[in-house]
Amino acid sequence: MNMPAPLTIAARRAMVEELLRQEPGISARKIAARLGVGKDTILRDIDAIETEQRQRAAASGQETPEPAPPAPDGAPAGDRLVLILDEPLRQALAVLRATRGRPDTPAENVAAARAAIRATADIVLEAQQHAQEGATP
């Protein structure tokens, strides 16, 4: 049985870019399934595509706003929180990323913010459960 030759990085990125153009809300997981690669590979491709687009825009003298990362798989279109990264928030994200030695990229900022929100929610839930256990006779 002959296996098809793997896509080159350039060919895969071109396909990713085309899928993103055709279906703007498509998730990285769906793209990965269509191309037969991992979701993390697609996320790296998307980051590289966006970086290249920003570089081309900068070279031509245009300003390109940083695009919002894709919504998590299965998330409704309206379930997105967009934060403007002012300096205090950027510093807080830098602290969170530093605990994992991660770079300052949109994807890493999203991951750090999501982890912090989940951790904070876990602390609140534990405190609520502890309070309920203490209130029960």
Task: Walk me through the domains of the chain, giving residue ranges and CATH numbers.
Answer: 7-73 (1.10.10), 83-137 (no CATH)
Per-residue pLDDT tens for 79-100?
Answer: 667 777 777 887 887 887 777 7
Residue 37 in this model has a pLDDT that exceeds 70: yes
Residue type, 93: L
Among residues of the chain, what percentage have pLDDT more than 90?
10
Percentages helix, strand, coil for the chain, rounded to the nearest 5?
60, 0, 40
What is the pLDDT, as a whole number, of residue 69? 58
What is the pLDDT, as a whole number, of residue 85? 73
Mean local confidence (pLDDT), 56-75: 62
Residue type, 103: P
- Look at the pTM and tell me if it is higher than 0.75: no
